[in-house]
Chain A
Amino acid sequence: MASLFLPSLIPAMKSFPRIVACFTAFVLSTVAQAGPPAKFFETHCHQCHDANSKKGGLDLTALPFSPADPDNLARWVKVHDRIATGEMPPRKQARPEAAEVAATTRWLHDELVAAERKANASDGRTRLRRLTRAEYENTVRDLFDLPGLLLQTDLPADGSVYGFDKNSDALDLSHVNLLKYLEAADRILDMAIATRPRPPKPIQQRISLANPHGFVAHVLLHGDGVLLKDKKPDPDFPPAGAHEHLDQGAHERMGSFHNGASVGLFRHEDESFHPYFNEFVAIYPGRYRLTTSLWSFQWDKGKVLPSRGTEAARLSIVQLVGDGRGGGHPSTVLGYYDAPSINEQKHEVVTWLNPRETIGFNAASLVSGHTRGPKRAMGFTGPGIACDFLDVEGPLHDVWPPVGHRRLFGDLPIQPFLTKDHPGVRPPPRSPDRQQLFMGKNKSDPIEGIWTVTTEKPLEDAARLLAEFLPRAFRRPVRAEVRKHYVERVAERLQAGDCFEVAMRWAYRAALTSPDFLYHIEPAGELDDHALACRLSYFLWNSMPDDKLTALAVDGTLRKPDVLRGEVERLLADPRSNRFVEDFLGQWLKLRQIAANDPDNKLYPEFSAYLQDSMLAESRAYFRKLVDANLPVETLVKSDFAMLNGKLAAHYGIPGVSGSQIRCVPLPPGSSRGGFLTQAAILKVTANGTTTSPVPRGAFVLDRLLGQPPAPPPPNIPAVEPDVRGATTIREQLQKHRADPSCASCHAKIDPPGFALEEFDVIGGHRTRYRSLGTGDPAPRGNIDPFTGIGFKLGPKVDPSGVLPDGRTFTGFTEFQAFLASNPRVLFTNLARQFAVYSTGRGQSFADRDEIDTVVSASLKNGGIRTLIHELVQSPLFRTR
């Protein structure tokens, strides 16, 4: 990284004496000029910021004005901001005249902007940057129509600069990246290239949750689940009571788990219990139709009764590793599905599965099984979720060969490769079609012989195919000499004895690992049509442009404001925009860190994976609602509705909501909810799992919502650790901390938002008293599920009051929330800045401020958050590199 900066620093260092001389001349000449600030600085600043005082480490008498140097520019920007906001000179000093301040800040502003524009004239503000991991995966998925291909996790993690991973400084490239890109290219091509003349025959398989290798059979023996027929206990498999069932193998051989019975579970997934439907393990990649039938019930010592309400079960896609045995394999959530009382509900979903993937199940809304007493299931009363079956059908192919193959080989025929017909040519390598994991009962549909694409005119077809593929993959026109280079590579490989498929594979592999594919290539200055299409699609889809967007770039109409506006609308309406919602929120509001810690299960026993996934779903759905309905920016912090499912509603104490699906719920009068800051996801990522602290939460509000990030803490100052024993409150601890003058100024800004958020606990629950594991009063159950044990106590009272730096006071979060909502320009400016950083891949420069201001003014005048996106996309800020 240092080497990147050195070239720009060296000229600055060489010219240092000249700069000092210039600065001295400038300072000396200020008296005679119209608005130069030398007199201002001498009068109002040098008293504290000269060589002797050097307060805050700043000696303005020795600071040259050389904004070509980024560090120097940053220091002068800070000086500008302190004066412009009135923070400097300090309040206890004599105030300068407003005209003086205006003249000084105007001069600084103009000079700094001019210096920045000069520096950016040749290379643009956005530096060359590669695709992020998410962009890379999405691009490959869209390019080859492989929507479930997993690539991100195999690539090294991206960094983060200005809060996002889209900046070139966060996207270095090492030999490890290159190696991984090569491996990924092979995986992509393996997956995309069709090696058979017809699609594999789709299987239709019905799987019981009690399948022998899926963990559930084992727990059925011991009573944490039961087999049910006709909504009653299965007479062939009575519920475990005073005695548990013997010998799982004997039950498997007797067909106890394959007799069509439904499986009722009393416990959710945990570290020792991973229900899988792994009698099916995908052999062929493709889309599969999954159908399951779910219902819920109240179990009462052997009787099946109507349940307390709609329960929820989770299906997930599980990537089986190794030999597939055991549990805890990596997985991704497919969704949460309702299990209504007694009457089963069928759920159908079509999803992509990769080889070695199976389906996982979690009785998500159940808190825990309590059947481990001496009478097991026959002594248990509580909720259960029943799964009748999972039907799997697939792979489903609308066309053959698939789209990904056609992108590579067009309509060239797939024919048998006979060695006698191709003397001296090596056949393409093939792996046998077979079920790789012993527990998978679905079998392969092998074909005889080796099949591959064939052509009579290999080089002609290579040139034709590459002429179609390369511009699509590189997201812009490709010069003839570049295409020729790739065709020459194909010719070389054909000459060396490779068959056509393998020779083409070399070229495609090279293309997928080339800078043209891996980097965003943008011209300096105003973006051309293709770069604009890419910037738009990577902003709102986090992926490459589709055919329509590319066509608009090709015919040169995309840059027309109404066309661009129409494309923003189209992209936002497309399901691919969910990638933007997830990726943007994951970084802006740090939702990627939602699982960074697990709450202490003694203090927060009601926490579960279902609650955590619901938290994420809430924040994403809320943002989606703000954009779709173009709601005013104040909605970021305050609203009269929330996006909830049954789990979250119960967590928040809002009645009348059941089921797993998120929906818009009006908030009852007096509710403490509404806006991002009251959402459990935000409250969880700003806590440490055990306790809350006003400091990180306050810093989060300043940085992420108000765009006023606090300075990092001074060195050697220990963090304030909350006291979970309940002896002292965090407020009392912070009061001691703020007694130190070096801490006080920053904490005056940081602490108030943090104090207001003390109304909410580690997992977003509303509280009036802290939870304690030491001293305290017995805790009432409140909104906690009756089957959850409570081991914590209620400790000291929460005091959510505070004083803002300008002297305004609040007694709790609701009043603080009103203060936040009363300044839409601040909120809009910050959101515009976040959108700009995310979409352009660069930090906000000083010169960008005016453009942001223009975008915000137009948005405030015309509408809400969707308007802001439109205004940003139309702005020069977005449309120039």
Chain B
Amino acid sequence: MRLPHLFPVAILALAAPLLCRSAAADDPPARTDRFTYRVTGLFSPEREKDLRAAFAELPGLSLVAIDFEFAEITVAFVPAKAFPGAKPQQVVEQFDQKLRSVTHHTFGVKPRSTVPREKLERVVIPTAVLDCKACCLAAYEAVAALDGVVQATASFKEGRVTALIDPTKTDRAKLEEALRKKGVQVGKP
């Protein structure tokens, strides 16, 4: 919702296999398809374990791959079984709700970013906060919520927050401001 210009593209990307499938409605076994989404809440490599545990509670949805660097996941499912009755454009929304519900709103999914990867810029912000998983989530969410942030990490053990940003939409100063507002002590680069 925060990326309205990406939305039609995402819907098309999601809807294509479904449309194909409905055209072949007579095929007896429903085919499992693979879909790639942006995942939110994946702020550190250790969170991959939590994400896999969450998928164990989501019947019909299989986590195939995690791309931590770009915060993307590939998921396999039969749309008609996993999201019965959902229109193609509703699938991502319902998927997001399911994932949020089993993870107490610490993970979610969004459509993939349409910004070419080479145009993304990585920003590293030194920080000083408690080495606490929930504090990392809080710092991560402060950054990830900004328009133009594609992926972010937070590790207070290493003392930094990183973000992969679309420089046309946001910049380092906005990230630092968001972190300060959350109570994170921001250091010099």
Contact = CB atoms under 8 A, between A and B. Distances in A.
Given A236-B133, A251-B134, A256-B134, A246 B182 contact: yes
Interface in B124-152: 128-135, 137-139, 141
A246 B105 contact: no
Contact of B132 (A236, A252, A253, A255): A236
A250 B141 contact: yes
A200 interface: no
> Which of B104, B106, B132, B184 has its CB near the most chain A CB atoms (within 10 A)?
B132
Nearest to A240: B130
Interface in A251-265: 251-256
B133 A254 contact: yes
Closest 5 CB pairs of A and B: A247-B138, A250-B138, A254-B134, A246-B138, A251-B134
B185 interface: yes
Interface in B170-184: 182-184
A238 B105 contact: no
Contacts of B139: 246
B130 A238 contact: yes
B104 A254 contact: yes
Contacts of A251: 132, 134-135, 138
B135 A245 contact: yes
A243 interface: yes
A175 to B, nearest CB: 54
A246 B184 contact: yes
Interface in A232-248: 236-238, 240-247
B31 to A, nearest CB: 35
A245 B104 contact: no
A254 B134 CA distance: 6
Given A236-B132, A243-B128, A247-B137, 15 more contacts: A237-B134, A238-B132, A243-B129, A244-B183, A246-B129, A246-B182, A247-B183, A250-B135, A250-B137, A252-B104, A253-B104, A253-B105, A253-B134, A254-B134, A254-B137
Most chain B CB within 10 A, of A247, A250, A251, A255, is at A250
B98 to A, nearest CB: 16
Nearest to B179: A246
Interface of B: 104-106, 128-135, 137-139, 141, 182-185
Contacts of B130: 238, 240-241, 243-246
Nearest to B50: A254
Contacts of B141: 247, 250
Nearest to A249: B138
Contacts of A238: 130-132
Contacts of A246: 129-130, 134-135, 138-139, 182-184
A244 B132 CA distance: 10
A102 B182 CA distance: 90
A302 to B, nearest CB: 12
17 contacts: A236-B132, A236-B133, A241-B130, A242-B128, A243-B185, A245-B130, A245-B134, A246-B129, A246-B182, A247-B135, A250-B138, A250-B141, A251-B132, A251-B135, A252-B104, A253-B105, A254-B134
A20 to B, nearest CB: 89
Contacts of A242: 128
Given A240-B130, A254-B134, A247 B104 contact: no
A245 B132 contact: yes
A840 B134 CA distance: 66
Contacts of A254: 104, 106, 133-134, 137
Grouping DSSP codes into helix (H, G, I), strand (E, B) and loop, the A interface class, with mixed when no group exceeds half, is: loop
A241 B132 CA distance: 12
Nearest to A246: B138
Contact of A253 (B106, B129, B135, B182): B106
A253 B185 contact: no
A253 B137 CA distance: 10
A241 to B, nearest CB: 7
A313 to B, nearest CB: 27
B78 to A, nearest CB: 30
A251 B130 CA distance: 13
A247 B182 contact: yes
Contacts of B134: 237, 245-247, 250-251, 253-254, 256
Contacts of B183: 244, 246-247
Contacts of B137: 247, 250, 253-254
Contacts of A250: 134-135, 137-138, 141
A243 B182 CA distance: 13
A237 B156 CA distance: 13
Interface in A340-370: none
B79 to A, nearest CB: 28
B51 to A, nearest CB: 13
Contacts of A236: 132-133
B131 to A, nearest CB: 6
B103 to A, nearest CB: 8
A247 B182 CA distance: 7
Contacts of B131: 238
Nearest to A251: B134
A269 B38 CA distance: 46
Contacts of A255: 104
Contacts of B105: 253
Nearest to B184: A246
B49 to A, nearest CB: 14
A466 B138 CA distance: 65
Contacts of A243: 128-130, 185
A238 B134 CA distance: 11
A237 B132 contact: yes
B39 to A, nearest CB: 16
Nearest to A241: B130
Contacts of A244: 130, 183
A717 to B, nearest CB: 61
A137 to B, nearest CB: 44
A229 to B, nearest CB: 14
A240 B131 CA distance: 10
A81 to B, nearest CB: 75
Nearest to A255: B104
Nearest to B156: A243
A255 B50 CA distance: 12
A384 B66 CA distance: 44
A217 to B, nearest CB: 11
A251 B132 CA distance: 9
A15 B182 CA distance: 88
A245 B138 CA distance: 9
A212 to B, nearest CB: 11
Interface centre among A242, A254, A256 (most CB of B within 10 A): A254
A795 B131 CA distance: 51
Nearest to B182: A246
Which of A243, A245, A256 counts the most chain B CB atoms within 10 A? A243
A250 B185 CA distance: 17
Interface in A214-244: 236-238, 240-244
A256 B139 CA distance: 16
A241 B128 CA distance: 12
A256 B134 CA distance: 7
Contacts of A252: 104
Nearest to B105: A253
Interface string A814-839: 00000000000000000000000000
A254 B131 CA distance: 14
Contacts of B104: 252-255
Interface in A81-100: none
Report which residue of B134, B135, B138 has the largest number of chain A beta carbons within 10 angstroms of its beta carbon.
B134
Contacts of B133: 236, 254, 256
A250 to B, nearest CB: 4
A225 to B, nearest CB: 15
A253 B133 CA distance: 11
A263 to B, nearest CB: 16
Nearest to A242: B128
Nearest to A234: B132
A408 B137 CA distance: 58
A275 B185 CA distance: 30
Which among A236, A241, A253 has the greatest number of chain B C-beta atoms within 10 A?
Answer: A253
